[in-house]
Structure 1
Amino acid sequence: MANSASGMAVNDECKIKFLELKAKRNFRFIIFKIDERIQQVAVEKLGEPGESYEDFTACLPADECRYAVFDLDFVTDENCQKSKIFFISWAPDTSRVRSKMLYASSKDRFKRELDGIQVELQATDPSEMSFDIIKSRAI
């Protein structure tokens, strides 16, 4: 288990599942949650390869913070099939201040544990991570 600057541990399953997403493409997305009781980041939900971006955003709670990784497939203007792995820090305005602070202070250390992140996005509202925004950040 790795430790973050905020004293937050990272469950080994987080890294294992991320490697599976990156290398084997077993998942479309992974949602991570900080268990404040035991001060540890753990996997909350794994998205099946066939799930869409809408399925992913529907899994994010409206009033709680989360980290997430999403594997976006897209076609470039040159008609090339590409994929980018997004790290999304979800901190809705309606979440608790303590929770927002905990996620913010642990984010960089946690993100370093996931080798292969290509694009980072922070969102406090669903409009800040619409599919159009994600797609524009991928190109």
Structure 2
Amino acid sequence: MAVHDDCKLRFLELKAKRSHRFIVFKIEEKQKEVIVEKVGEPTESYEEFSAALPADECRYAVYDFDFVTEENCQKSKIFFIAWSPDTARVRSKMIYASSKDRFKRELDGIQVELQATDPTEMGLDVFNSRAR
């Protein structure tokens, strides 16, 4: 599976400049390539990120999660989400599952990985518990 240069470029912008809140990646099956589907502005909310993931199709996503530690320090962690809803096509789930590790290696700087099949598996409570 090829990875479009734009994927790495956008991820670097998110990581280094914090110029995006999230990025949703899609596998173009015909081209056998991972592409950027949507980029979220820094002001966009978690709800807007969650809404950007289709209910019945697989995606990869990266989310820049801000939180406050018990010591009252402002921190952020970059989450990688493998979104694979139960209602997605079996073939699609297999392609995303088999390409995930290779794609993730292209994005240097991911701190937490989540596998989600429905929105509750990647709720803010999950982000909060995994970030600490």
* 2:126 aligned partner, one-letter code: I
Displacement of 1:112: 0.2
Q: Distance in 2 between matches of 1:62 and 1:113?
A: 26
Identical-residue share of aligned pairs (%): 76
Q: Which residue does 1:3 correspond to in 2?
A: none
The answer on 1:134 being equivalent to 2:127 is yes
Alignment partner of 1:50 is 2:47: no
Other-structure match for 1:81: 74
Report what 2:60 is aligned to: 67
Q: Equivalent residue of 2:86, what SS?
A: coil
Query: What is the one-letter code of the residue matched to 1:25?
Result: R
Report SS of the residue matched to 1:79: coil
In the other structure, the counterpart of 1:4 is: none
Deviation at 1:131, TM superposition (A): 0.7
1:51, distance to aligned residue in structure 2 (A):
0.6
Give unpaired runs (5+ residues) of structure 2.
Answer: none
Aligned to 2:91: 98
| TM superposition shift of 1:117 | 0.1
How many angstroms does 1:23 deviate by? 0.2
Give every structure 1 segment of 4 or more consecutive aligned residues whose post-TM-superposition deviation is greater than 4 Å.
none
The CA deviation at 1:50 is 0.4
Instruction: After TM superposition, give the deviation of residue 67 of structure 1 in Å.
Output: 0.1
Please give the per-residue CA displacement for 1:88-120, whole angstroms capped at 9, x wherever unaligned.
Answer: 000000000000000000000000000000000
Q: Provide TM-score, normalisation by structure 2.
A: 0.99
Q: 2:101 aligns with which of 103, 108, 133?
A: 108
Q: For 1:51 and 1:132, how far apart are their aligned partners in 2?
A: 18
**Could you tell me how far apart the structure 2 residues matched to 1:25 and 1:126 are?**
24
Deviations 1:6-63 (A, max 9, x none): xx10000000000000000110000000000110000000000001111100110000
Unaligned runs of 5+ in 1: 1-7
RMSD: 0.4
